Copies of this chain bind each other. A is one copy, B any other.
Amino acid sequence: MAQHSSSLDEVFGALSDPTRRLVLGELGRGPASVGDLARASPMTLPSFMKHIRMLESTGLIRTRKAGRVRTCTLNRDRLAVVDGWLAEQRAIWEGRTDRLEQFVTTPQEPS
């Protein structure tokens, strides 16, 4: 549970930055080199690399170096924790609705 929670902290934290979301969107189209990804960003390479490293440490992307080129790949499965959390919330809401419906439709015993 604690691990699950810290995983959500990390993934939601990673998604809270526009540069990182842009990288994830780009990688959704297919693997790309850090160089190509960085060229689409106005920031310096060292600043950009911090975002890449954060995405990698969160497990949202994987990187592999061949020669001088580091290629990044999206790890879609990692985004499933977001789906999971949203599904949990919906289950809570529906549980609430079910209880309300039960209250409304169950004939009340005369006291």
Contact = CB atoms under 8 A, between A and B. Distances in A.
A41 to B, nearest CB: 14
A58 to B, nearest CB: 11
Given A9-B16, A17-B9, A18-B8, A25 B79 contact: no
Q: Is the interface of A mostly helix, strand, loop or mixed?
A: helix
Contacts of A10: 16
A93 B28 contact: yes
A57 interface: no
Interface residues of A, number: 28
B9 A89 contact: no
Interface of A: 5, 8-10, 12-13, 15-18, 21, 24-25, 28-30, 76, 79, 82-83, 85-86, 88-89, 92-93, 95-96
